[in-house]
A = this chain, B = another copy of it.
Amino acid sequence: MKTVPSKEEILSAHERIKPYIHRTPVISSAGINEQAGCKIYFKCENFQKIGAFKARGAMNAALSLSKEDLAKGLATHSSGNHAQALARAAKLLGVPAYVVMPSTAPEVKKRGVKGFEGKIFECEPTLAARESTLAEVIAKTGATEIHPFNNYDVMAGQATATIELLEETGKLDYLLVPVGGGGLLSGTLLAAKYFSPDTQVIAGEPEGADDTYRSLQSGNIEPSQAKSVADGLLTSLGDKTFPIIREHLKEVITVNDHEIIAAMRLVWERMKIIIEPSCAVPLAAVFKDKKKFANKPVGVILSGGNVDLERACDLFIKYK
């Protein structure tokens, strides 16, 4: 897919990946609704295969390759969830996965990749180191790079979460997702445009990595400061995600680390489910602007649940 996914391409992606992914539940919490003052429908991608929505995009991208390309394997650099997703897709399709990961990636995410027999190449936690290491791996193996977000097939896959959410909720006034590189956000914007044009998509973004907010103001892709507990959202936008976001996104709500961890705690305590810091960002955004959402039906995509318990515990103590 070399252009922005069409309605039909997103529907095809959904059919293509259905046998390989969970249809995750949509749940609500009376306690959280009361505190937030609106009716929130959580699409629980933390219960998705590999514990995150990334299973969708990676699977769609893998299934969209030619037989010849697929046989040579899949490659990527990723801070975590996409890496597991790609390793899983490769394993299911019987091809190798080559994953370049920063040495600082959480243990739980490295174990996830190894559990799917992905081959990990560790590098320094800089974009330059990631890219050069990945280039070497691809030169050696002939594998195809599946970028974590700057890829139209990945985007079409991520869009499918919104299709399922809308099928269960009916009309939503708002739909909130986190933004890092913008794969989920682009996919969500397209899905909302095609399937629920009256739903306003809002991005939740950490204050310490508010490059999307700044990029929309400047009109250029701004680099991320990458200073947030939301470790899945530290990347900046790509040249495929930014134009879609610029065209369709009306609002970014930024939240600080205290607000993120408070929202994460609320979900753990009230819903009894585990979400990672990045995943708590859209709920924190709802609390940041309660007036806007008052009494409205609001969709929130819970993006993932892969967090080392030790790290989560440290965060709960630090931000109490």
Judge whether A46 is part of the interface by a CB distance below 8 angstroms.
yes
Judge whether A51 is part of the interface by a CB distance below 8 angstroms.
yes
Judge whether A128 is part of the interface by a CB distance below 8 angstroms.
no
In contact, B272 and A305 (Cβ under 8 angstroms): yes
In contact, A272 and B47 (Cβ under 8 angstroms): yes
In contact, A268 and B274 (Cβ under 8 angstroms): yes
**A20 CB contacts on chain B under 8 angstroms:** none
**A269 CB contacts on chain B under 8 angstroms:** 108, 309
**A274 CB contacts on chain B under 8 angstroms:** 268, 272-274
Given A273-B273, A274-B273, are A309 and B268 neighbors across the interface (CB < 8 Å)?
yes
- Bits for A258-278, please: 1 = Cβ < 8 Å to B, else 0: 000000010011001111000
Number of interface residues of A (CB under 8 A): 19
Chain B residue nearest to A51 in the complex (CB): B272
Judge whether A310 is part of the interface by a CB distance below 8 angstroms.
yes
**A47 CB contacts on chain B under 8 angstroms:** 272
Task: Choose from B25, B268, B305 the contact partner of A25 (Cβ within 8 Å).
Answer: B25
How many copies altogether? 2
Judge whether A139 is part of the interface by a CB distance below 8 angstroms.
no
The distance in angstroms between the C-alpha atoms of A209 and B268, with both chains bound, is 28
In contact, A272 and B46 (Cβ under 8 angstroms): yes
In contact, B51 and A265 (Cβ under 8 angstroms): no
The distance in angstroms between the C-alpha atoms of A279 and B239, with both chains bound, is 48
Task: Choose from B25, B46, B275, B313 the contact partner of A313 (Cβ within 8 Å).
Answer: B313
Judge whether A194 is part of the interface by a CB distance below 8 angstroms.
no
Q: How far is the CB of A311 from chain B (nearest CB, A)?
A: 11
- Bits for A293-320, please: 1 = Cβ < 8 Å to B, else 0: 0000000000001000110110011000
**A316 CB contacts on chain B under 8 angstroms:** 309-310, 313
Max chain B CB contacts within 10 Å: which of A265, A273, A275?
Answer: A273
The distance in angstroms between the C-alpha atoms of A317 and B309, with both chains bound, is 9
The distance in angstroms between the C-alpha atoms of A272 and B276, with both chains bound, is 10
Max chain B CB contacts within 10 Å: which of A25, A269, A312?
Answer: A269
Chain B residue nearest to A304 in the complex (CB): B272
Chain B residue nearest to A31 in the complex (CB): B115
Max chain B CB contacts within 10 Å: which of A25, A51, A108, A309?
Answer: A309
Q: How far is the CB of A43 from chain B (nearest CB, A)?
A: 14
Q: How far is the CB of A92 from chain B (nearest CB, A)?
A: 12
**What are 14 contact pairs spanning A and B, CB under 8 A?**
A46-B272, A47-B272, A268-B309, A269-B309, A272-B273, A272-B305, A273-B273, A273-B274, A274-B274, A309-B313, A309-B316, A310-B316, A312-B313, A313-B313
